[in-house]
Structure 1
Amino acid sequence: MKWLQTVFQESGLSLRPRLFWGAAALYWSSFAAVGYVQSNAYWLLQGSHAFTGPETLDFLLRGLLWFLSTPLILYLAYRAPITSFRPLGRLGRNLALHLVAQFTLNLWITCVVYLLLYKLLGLGPGRTWGPDGVWASMLLRLSISLSMYLLLVFGYGVVVYASRNQTLHHQNVRYELANEQLKSQLAGAQLQALKMQLNPHFLFNTHHAIVGLILEHENERAIAMVTALSDLLRAVMANGDAQLIPLREELQFVTKYLDIQHIRFQDRLRIQFDIAVDAHECLVPQFLLQPLVENAMVHGVEQVLGQAWVRIGARREGPQLVVEVQDNGPGATSRRYSSGGADRGIGLGNTLARLEKLYHGHAQLEFTQPPTGGTVVVVRVPYGLPAAQPTALPSPLRATI
């Protein structure tokens, strides 16, 4: 039984001894039954009689000895597999080993049957041995026993290969599931980080702007800014943990953010929207636009002494949705961030990481600086609509604030 334990443990097979011996009994008894019926049919067709009692006992004893040899055969199959054709030299050596082992087992079983039945018990051999005794009987059964032996060795190899392949498949599925769960958790954490980070610089400036308006007795503007800030913070929590939302909802959130900026800069800031009809309901990552617009405000609008403007556009290009955020700031003279740069800020860094996690390389974030000045940030994501769409899309949004 140690052989069996070694074979099963090393091969990764979980097979109880009772089940193993039952399968072995079924294997050898099926061959024995077919051989017994075939032999009897042959003798009857030759005009002779069926197997006698000693001949039947001889047949059953051989099957029993092959059955008891099963652990040894499986151990040899484990030590010298023949299911792999590489390298050919090892395959040849393993096959030669099995041929020698089968010949030895066949000779040993023949000798045991001969000594036990015909020498010890003194039974009459009849047609079982023929005129040449042991050697003739062994050679007569050599091809049949060789087929049974090699079939068992090969079948064991196939079962082990299938079991290992299934184990590896299950491990791969578990690893992929764990990996996707980690990606989902990371994307959720990044979304929460973006929500919690509504840039402290922006909140600090808004707070001081409100205080300044109160000191200057601009009470209406101060109340409008407090109201806009409250609406913005409420909108941050509106969509919960949803990763993808329609673009129109993202635009509503960005509009609340821009309302505060418009109160700060008044007539010096102009906001333009150019949103195509078929872009309103397209799904985009939540909190996608705010970091991009905030960069346009900090690195663009705040650096401009005169009239400043920010343009937000969205359109469909084939299978992609293209979203653009453009400003007329100083451009490369003060910009140090880029799509692959290290100084792109937490918001843009999280945005890039989220695009990678959500779209697996099928989304792009690009920064360009036209010769006329300013900066254009372009986001390309796969075009996708939510499951439930309105029957009629709104008209194109082309507005100026």
Structure 2
Amino acid sequence: MNWKEFLEDRTRLFWFVHSAGWFGFALVHYLGSLLHDLRDIFVVIIFLNAYAGWLFTVPLRYIYRRVWNFSPIKIALVVIISSYVTGVLWQIVKNINYWEIYKHGYKPDFLLMYTQSSLWSFYIVLSWSCLYFGTKYYQMLQVEKQNVLKANTVAHQAQLKMLRYQLNPHFLFNTLNAISTLILVKENKTANSMVTKLSEFLRYSLDKDPMKKVPLESEIQALELYLAIEKVRFEDRLTVTFNIDEACQKALVPSMILQPLAENAIKYAVAVQEQGGEIAITVSQFANDLLIEVADNGPGAEIVNGNLHRESGVGLVNTKERLQALYNKKYSLVVSHNKPSGVKVNIRMPFELT
């Protein structure tokens, strides 16, 4: 049993705090009795009184649980009345203990004397009641806080899943459209090759949990599957070069983070040029960051404040939102002009190993 489980068990926590509180009460009174040079028998009275207080305050727990949902005024009245009655009963027992044991059977002249000093006992019980309600409210706040955190986590996971699954229909539409075109022009062999590669890519994509990060080497494999599909379309017009540091192969990255960037480069750099184009993927480590660059040699684009004006799909927007959801402010995505021509996308994220 660890402390977290212990504190979350309300019943066990109540009995522990309840017993520890009354033991502390007895200990304080015992230390105080040493200053008055009282007989040793007084120690027995102290612990009998503490035990009586322990017993009398137990029913208060069940009373307060029944009135928990009452209005604040009604709760206050119940607390005051219950604390006063309990304090009086406890004080009667304390007086009996003192007179019967310490005073050797002393009998007061009036029965009301058994209730003398009840006000002090009332304060003690009232303090117990306030501590009980304070602890209960604190536990409620902690539960509510955990519920809010769980709700935020669920919403966060739903957002990530939505962003991740946006990629499949987007990519699928483009690929199926290309296959349809190949069939219309009777390039059946090429179309069949694309269907085969598409099935492999989708199998890989759907097998990956969108909530989990994957090693970079797995992400590169997925990208190579995607590029193999595009190679069927563009043949020699598409050239891809990889420059991956060996130390980065095991680094964790969001699944399918490279594919939309490569798709953008193909759409705006390769497809628009008769001679095709080249895409260069570079990954390196700098201090505690992982640096990813996807660059092309296309005609370029208008870039303002690190954003593409031509962007109208889900590629870069999706990537930014996923990075924001996963890393908060611990990332950057910058779009800039490539030299001598084209566009490059640079991503910085925390370097994490599997």
For residues 264 and 305 of structure 2, the distance between their equivalents in structure 1, rounded to whole angstroms, comes to 10
> Given the alignment of the two structures, is residue 51 of structure 1 paired with residue 109 of structure 2, yes or no?
no
In structure 2, which of residues 269, 286, 297 is the aligned counterpart of residue 317 of structure 1? 286
Map of 1:26-65 to 2, 5 A cutoff? Answer: 27-38=87-98, 51-52=106-107, 54-55=109-110, 57-60=111-114, 62=115
Counterpart in the other structure of 2:240: 271
Distance of 1:39 and 1:267 partners within structure 2:
106
* Structure of higher CA gyration radius: 1
Identity, % of aligned positions: 25
CA separation in 2, counterparts of 1:12 and 1:224?
77
Task: Map residues 212-291 of structure 1 onto 2, 5 A cutoff.
Answer: 212=185, 214=187, 221=190, 223-239=192-208, 241=210, 243-291=212-260
Shift of 1:241: 5.0
Q: Residues 336 and 344 of structure 1 are in contact (CA less than 8 Å); yes or no, is this contact kept in structure 2?
A: no
Moved over 6 A (4+): 4-8
Shift of 1:336: 8.1
Deviations 1:331-360 (A, max 9, x none): 234x68955979452233232222222333
Quote how far apart the aligned CAs of 1:296 are: 0.9
Deviation at 1:274, TM superposition (A): 0.9
- Cα separation, 2, equivalents of 1:247 and 1:292: 15
Unaligned runs of 5+ in 1: 63-140, 387-401
Please point out which of 273, 281, 303 is paired with 2:272.
303
Cα-to-partner distance string for 1:257-304 (whole Å, 9 max, x where unaligned)? 112322333333210101111222222222111111101111222233
> Match for residue 70 of structure 2?
9
Q: 1:279 to 1:206 in 2, by over 3 A?
A: farther
CA distance in structure 2 between the aligned counterparts of 1:309 and 1:296, rounded to whole angstroms: 9
Measure how far apart 1:166 and its partner are.
Answer: 1.7
Go from structure 1 to structure 2 and tell me whether the alpha carbon gap of 1:327 and 1:154 turns closer, same or farther (over 3 Å shift). Answer: same
Let me know the Cα RMSD of the aligned residues.
3.7
Higher relative contact order by CA 8 Å / sep ≥ 6: 1 or 2? 1
Relative to structure 1, is the Cα distance of residues 151 and 382 closer, same or farther in structure 2, using a 3 angstrom cutoff? same
For 1:1-400, what aligned pairs fall within 5 Å after superposition? 9-11=70-72, 27-38=87-98, 51-52=106-107, 54-55=109-110, 57-60=111-114, 62=115, 144-198=117-171, 200-209=173-182, 211-212=184-185, 214=187, 221=190, 223-239=192-208, 241=210, 243-306=212-275, 308-333=277-302, 343-370=311-338, 372-386=340-354
Shift of 1:174: 1.1
**Which ranges of structure 2 fall in alignment gaps of 5 or more residues?**
1-63
For 1:157 and 1:312, how far apart are their aligned partners in 2?
A: 65
Distance 1:213 1:376, change over 3 A: farther
- Describe the superposition over 1:41-82 as per-residue Cα deviations: whole angstroms up to 9, x where unpaired: 88x5xxxx8532644x3333x3xxxxxxxxxxxxxxxxxxxx
CA distance in 1, matches of 2:73, 2:277: 70
Letter of the aligned partner of 1:59 in structure 2? M
Q: Is the 8 A contact 1:325 1:377 kept in 2?
A: yes
Q: Report the number of matched residues.
A: 287
Q: Encode CA deviations 1:140-175: one digit per residue, 9 max, x unaligned.
A: x6xx44433444444433333322222121111112
TM-score (norm 2): 0.67
TM-score (norm 1): 0.60
CA distance in 1, matches of 2:145, 2:309: 34
Partners of 1:235 and 1:13 lie apart in 2 by 63
